[in-house]
């Protein structure tokens, strides 16, 4: 649903009259005098941010578009390339008749695609509103794309709600688009055109196009899980016991012998994962995903910690050995946890062991969090301890003479 405050123009208003009113508001606010009306809250917040950046509303603020080969590279790498046809189908079919442009940016505000009415494209060219340009508040001031990124919300701007005077002849309607798997911001979809051609339905049109594109991304995700499940069939047919097959984001394509949610922690190579009902395991790489099987307490994950100038941790498990470097503090924590055994350590006890008092609880917790990012669920929490099935031995390297 389009937010109530999304639209810039109430239904039935005279656009030319409103444009004149906004120019007076813009002139007063940026001139430091009391405006005849307050700007909308989203506009006031953006103008405040832009003024603090020192941009000049009367100048041509830098555009510096990227080279075309870099735009092509960004297009190819963007997940939005998978749904650009869906966006075109909704937004460009009436672009010529409605005299507007469809513009699609990445999460950094760089314009990757720009299509629509030829006459409007020519005007946009003179404004620097072209593929490869970064259309953020930091570069070009208040604009629907950059302000949508700053506000993390849909934004429509009309005429002199834009910061730069050269953008006053425009309206812009921008809606962020997200990866439905992760919630990650992928970019912004925008429709822009001559201010006096703004139709009240434009906001709903752009929002509908974004919803359609996100639905298509979700369908493609489901198709990928189906392919992953099919690819893994011959690998798991001869195995017994519980297991999971997941994609790179942790979405479950197949499970056996374990009840699980739709998604687990995203696997990483050489990074232990603990899954409720499955236990501790080291992910095994498949062609387009990961296989997770329990290690079990009868099959130890053996850790060998080499203490020296740069501590190293060697891990031996069913999926093969791997090695990682650790900080001295993280090596110290592993030694303390191994000594504590199954009882483990509370954050208070760990703080005392590391720093000599119990006043460093936050720091101790942060160190364990960073250690777990490095080696995964080999260390568990509440209390802090080595995970069941993990065994640590240490050795000391000789210092160089």
Per-residue pLDDT at 1: 43
163: nearest Cα among 143, 188, 190, 178 = 143
Per-residue pLDDT at 401: 45
pLDDT tens column, 153-174: 999 999 999 999 999 999 999 9
Q: How would residue 52 be classed by pLDDT, with cut points 50, 70 and 90?
A: very high
**Average pLDDT of 319-331?**
82
> Can you give the pTM of this predicted structure?
0.76
Per-residue pLDDT at 308: 83
Residue 298 has pLDDT above 60, yes or no: no
Per-residue pLDDT at 373: 81
Residue 19 has pLDDT above 70, yes or no: yes
d(CA 290, CA 303): 22
**Average pLDDT of 301-307?**
86
d(CA 246, CA 248): 7
d(CA 329, CA 326): 8
Please give the structure tokens belonging to residue 236: 């798991």
pLDDT tens column, 205-235: 999 999 999 999 999 999 999 999 998 888 7
- Domains in the chain (CATH in brackets) are 15-220 (3.30.450.40), 239-292 (no CATH), 301-396 (1.10.10)
Residue 106 has pLDDT above 90, yes or no: yes
d(CA 275, CA 297): 14
Starting at the edge strand found earlier in the chain, the sheet holding 101-106 runs: 111-116, 101-106, 185-194, 170-178, 155-158
């Amino acid at each position: 649903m389009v937010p109530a405050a999304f639209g810039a123009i109430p239904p039935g208003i005279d656009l030319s009259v409103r444009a004149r009113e906004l120019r007076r508001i813009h002139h007063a606010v940026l001139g430091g005098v009391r405006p005849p009306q307050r700007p909308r809250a989203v506009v006031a917040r953006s103008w405040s941010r832009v003024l603090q950046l020192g941009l000049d509303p009367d100048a041509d603020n830098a555009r510096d578009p990227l080279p075309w080969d870099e735009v092509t590279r960004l297009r190819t790498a963007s997940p939005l390339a998978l749904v650009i046809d869906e966006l075109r189908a909704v937004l460009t079919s009436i672009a010529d008749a409605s005299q507007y442009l469809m513009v699609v940016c990445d999460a950094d505000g760089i314009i990757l695609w720009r299509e629509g009415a030829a006459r409007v494209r020519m005007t946009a060219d003179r404004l620097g509103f072209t593929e490869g340009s970064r259309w953020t508040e930091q570069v070009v001031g208040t604009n629907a794309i950059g302000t949508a990124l700053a506000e993390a919300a849909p934004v429509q701007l009309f005429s002199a709600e834009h910061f730069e005077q050269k953008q006053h002849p425009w309206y812009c309607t921008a809606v962020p688009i997200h990866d439905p798997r992760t919630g990650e911001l992928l970019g912004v979809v925008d429709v822009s055109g001559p201010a006096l051609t703004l139709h009240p339905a434009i906001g709903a049109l752009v929002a509908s196009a974004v919803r359609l594109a996100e639905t298509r991304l979700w369908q493609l995700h489901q198709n990928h899980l189906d392919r992953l499940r099919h690819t893994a069939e011959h690998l798991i047919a001869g195995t017994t016991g519980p297991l999971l097959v997941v994609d790179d984001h942790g979405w479950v394509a197949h499970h056996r012998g374990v009840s699980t949610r739709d998604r687990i922690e995203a696997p990483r190579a050489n990074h232990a994962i603990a899954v409720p009902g499955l236990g501790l395991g080291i992910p095994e790489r498949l062609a387009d995903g990961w296989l997770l099987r329990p290690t079990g307490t009868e099959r130890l994950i053996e850790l060998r910690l080499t203490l020296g100038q740069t501590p190293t941790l060697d891990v031996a498990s069913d999926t093969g050995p791997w090695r990682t470097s650790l900080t001295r503090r993280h090596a110290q924590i592993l030694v303390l946890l191994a000594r504590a055994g199954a009882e483990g350590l509370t954050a208070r006890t760990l703080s005392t062991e590391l720093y000599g008092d119990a006043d460093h609880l936050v720091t101790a917790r942060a160190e364990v969090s960073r250690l777990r990012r490095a080696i995964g669920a080999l260390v568990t929490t509440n209390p802090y301890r080595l995970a069941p099935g993990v065994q640590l031995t240490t050795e000391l390297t000789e210092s160089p003479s």
